[in-house]
Chains A and B, each alone.
Chain A
């Protein structure tokens, strides 16, 4: 679907001039809080209209291929060219898709066009759901899209017999199965945490189905569940953004947004909902499918305030879970202990290391605020570039050998690259306390890619390699100190640029201007400390403060760091052992589902309390209730 959209844009680029994407090309939006609910709503509606107008404007009716499902949906919502849309739907439905990325657009057309598309067009959609088998996929986002789509189509045609659906199940059977899965998934999310947590791109693959459920489900319970899940997802998004840019860690992200933090789907939602960052190009492509129904969603003020009206610095600790592990693991899903420390000038985020997902995890980073996030590489982190087909077998029902060659053609080009900066490793252990990160590596001999990579952004200024072993730099208004624990080399970093292709994905390696630090030592580690520029009279003063802090480390027999942080904590981190802070071991068993100034939930509670100032909203999945209150 992403490829299809890219191809469409390239096709259009080769022809007539593109209509403007005002918010994408304009200066960054104001960060000022919009206090009035009506004003906020008006601005929200205007942003929706902007996206839909742009998408509709791309269409050249003389070139039917420019009228894809997103464009048809935009036009239907705008009450434009309905006859052309009907004709095009009939054409499109002759080629049914092969899974959830076809299912939700077709559901979108079925519902947005149920009162306007011709009877023949509506029948064509319905017929495609009989004749074309849809793969359910193998990830949580696939299943969210698949079962929401199946649910909504089953509700739209409630009494149809089994033989009229590709599943061979009646509407009632599919409705029951879909409902049961969606409730099961929501139950997992609200008790032991999200699986594909804090996603830069995949957020859209949850937001769209949940919006559709909230908008179009006939059953009021499922409508309510959709609405509550949207609030849950967007509250999490709000608390993990800084000026609208989502911060790490991430269960899954991709090669480019791990560098250019802003450039992924999450920024479309920040732009649309919070209005505090520009949208990605083309409104992130998929964003259009959210936009067509977005006027049916009202962002609660309490979530809006969390995103845009920040008070003091804060720590948010969340419990998440790993991807399902079919084999070679003692657990089906491992707990993920996620920490985010958010300040005005920068954010530090991490989880404890190990793997959340076998391919695309981003474990930790420091990312700083910039006036305009577009094109900015405002991040610093290190990784062990772990690559193991046997390890991937834990989560995939596949043989080991084909996995690596297949990944590049499936849109994950860097998985086996020794210079990759994306992915988690079982040989990485991470500890975070406020704006201190200690990442330790104990890589067994014989491991593929036996070294540590660190990403040093082109946007760092005043980068200096101090004789002490620290690397100092400034990123935006953040001072950064990075301490590799073993020797290293520096080289230009090569990123990935997607190329047009008719079969699978194609990529070109391109210099990004960033620097790759590589440390070829199996026993290894990284320490990062950060501070705001405003906290020190000068960069030299910051360096002096870091150098004055007690630091001891050794790498044998296992990496161990003992240090005093910039914030005065005495920390001992030893690979394979529980970190100790001021003499007390970190107790992960007490980790709550959410704990912080804005989001709080007990593990297993199915109940999230969202607060900001005097505002409070409680999402209670036990009673399917939303309770708003304003404290005096």
Chain B
């Protein structure tokens, strides 16, 4: 769910200019409300936030504790899609007004992704499959040909940035690939339990990482066609998400409730738990790497957003008190 959905055009410059003005806007989907249950009073602001120039968090849209994922139309930053309890929300005016684009028959989507090469096309991960809007959320036909009737709980959908209509989906029964805009899906990795996250490397579009609930972490070097398990990553505990360091191709990170933050600095060959300064139990929900500063972020459930300037060796509490971040999204500021 942590995403670098867009090409990092300024990557080379960024590597040597971490202290310059940020080249990316950071958006997060966060719940900042401990103990909320349906029916109780929401006492804080939740949902979609944008980090401002001074590091402050600017809230966009409704106060919604359930926003899981966000994506923006690459042609027009004012067009926003979120996945939340009520369905897929869309704003056409930068978050001023919103519409639930789905109906009662699609609930609790877990991820939403726009195809950057066919940006009218939006993919939606659902507890009971996958829907694809061909018209910017006007309609949501199911696109599940090739998915099993049972076993299609979908946690994550990730579009291959190099090819329109090429998408990987993380489901309860494995990773599925489509190359034709979800007209059909093929299972490329079977798993026993849910695939919790899939990411494409910002450095090499053929390189993908995936983490699962009980089958460990996996790497693909051929665009997701074949997968190899990462031997250095334990599979005894659920792994929630994975991140590439946009500034250092060999740096990878994984977030896990039980294991905390795992990092690799050799492209996934070896892994080290990096939790000095993170509460114990760790309860790491999401991790991400800032493409401008190289900071490694870890959201600790109900606690705060933690950040590390040395790729996990030390951590400091970095604001967003009592929050749980469901998604990080970095967008180039140059996008209109």
Contact = CB atoms under 8 A, between A and B. Distances in A.
Interface stretch (A161-169, A210-218, A593-601): A161-169
Contact of A401 (B151, B193, B258): B258
Interface string A76-113: 00000000000000000001011111100000000000
B7 to A, nearest CB: 31
Interface string A184-220: 1000000000000000000000000000000000000
Contact of A98 (B38, B107, B237, B238): B38
Contacts of A332: 128, 150
Contacts of A410: 35, 37
A66 B187 CA distance: 59
A100 B39 contact: yes
A37 interface: no
Interface in B296-312: 301
B39 A102 contact: yes
B63 interface: yes
Majority-rule SS of B interface residues:
loop
A95 B104 contact: no
A397 B104 contact: no
B103 interface: yes
A142 B38 CA distance: 9
A329 B150 contact: yes
A399 B39 contact: no
B128 A326 contact: yes
B66 interface: yes
A133 B35 CA distance: 19
A331 B40 contact: no
A504 B100 contact: no
Contacts of B38: 98-101, 135, 137-138, 142
Interface string B274-296: 00000000010000000000000
B104 A133 contact: no
Contact of B40 (A98, A166, A167): A98
A163 B97 contact: yes
B87 to A, nearest CB: 8
Given A135-B66, A138-B85, A402-B301, A169 B100 contact: yes
A167 B100 contact: yes
Contacts of B186: none
A400 B39 contact: no
B196 interface: yes
Given A137-B85, A166-B62, A147 B100 contact: no
Contact of A1 (B39, B87, B257): B39
Interface string A327-365: 111111000000000000000000000000000000000
A168 B97 contact: yes
Contacts of A503: 34-35
A300 interface: no
A135 B153 contact: no
A360 to B, nearest CB: 14
Interface string B253-268: 0000110000000000
Given A327-B194, A331-B150, A98 B62 contact: no
B97 A97 contact: no
A326 B106 CA distance: 12
Interface in A388-422: 390, 393, 397, 399-402, 409-411
Which of B38, B153, B237 has the most A CB atoms < 10 Å from its CB? B38
B164 interface: no
B97 A135 contact: no
A171 B158 CA distance: 35
Given A163-B97, A327-B172, A399-B240, A133 B64 contact: yes
Size class of A's contact patch?
35 or more
A180 interface: yes
Contacts of B194: 327, 393
A3 interface: yes
A136 B64 contact: no
A327 B39 contact: no
Interface string B21-60: 0000000000000111111111000000000000000000
B64 A135 contact: yes
B75 interface: no
Interface in A116-156: 132-138, 142-143, 147
Interface string B123-154: 00001100000000000000000000011010
Nearest to A328: B172
A181 interface: yes
Contacts of A135: 38, 64-66, 85-86
Interface string B183-225: 0000000000110100000000000000001000000000000
A147 B108 CA distance: 16
B62 A97 contact: no
A177 interface: yes
Majority-rule SS of A interface residues:
loop
A167 B62 CA distance: 10
Given A163-B97, A326-B127, A328-B172, A133 B63 contact: yes
Contacts of A143: 104
Contact of B193 (A166, A180, A328): A328
Contacts of B228: none
Nearest to B258: A401
Contact of B100 (A100, A168, A393): A168
B276 to A, nearest CB: 21
Contacts of B151: 327
A2 B39 CA distance: 9
A400 B85 contact: no
A389 B87 CA distance: 24
B168 to A, nearest CB: 18
B104 A184 contact: yes
A331 to B, nearest CB: 7
Contacts of A100: 38-39
Contacts of A137: 38, 85
Contacts of B98: 168
Interface in B80-128: 85-87, 89-90, 97-100, 103-104, 107-108, 110, 127-128
Contacts of B301: 402
A95 B63 CA distance: 12
Nearest to B43: A503
A3 B36 CA distance: 12
A411 B87 CA distance: 25
Contacts of B107: 136, 138
Contact of B108 (A138, A181, A504): A138
B104 A409 contact: no
Contacts of B127: 326-327, 397
B100 A399 contact: no
A389 B258 CA distance: 14
A409 B35 contact: yes
Contacts of B87: 136
Nearest to A327: B153
Contact of A136 (B63, B86, B238): B86
Nearest to B91: A168
Given A178-B104, A399-B213, A401-B238, 17 more contacts: A2-B39, A4-B41, A95-B41, A98-B40, A100-B38, A101-B39, A102-B39, A133-B86, A135-B38, A135-B85, A136-B86, A136-B107, A138-B85, A168-B90, A390-B193, A401-B237, A504-B40
Interface of B: 34-42, 62-66, 85-87, 89-90, 97-100, 103-104, 107-108, 110, 127-128, 150-151, 153, 172, 193-194, 196, 213, 237-238, 240, 257-258, 283, 301
Closest 10 CB pairs of A and B: A168-B99, A504-B35, A101-B39, A133-B62, A327-B153, A181-B104, A401-B257, A326-B127, A327-B172, A410-B37
8 contacts: A98-B36, A132-B63, A135-B66, A138-B85, A168-B97, A328-B193, A329-B150, A410-B37
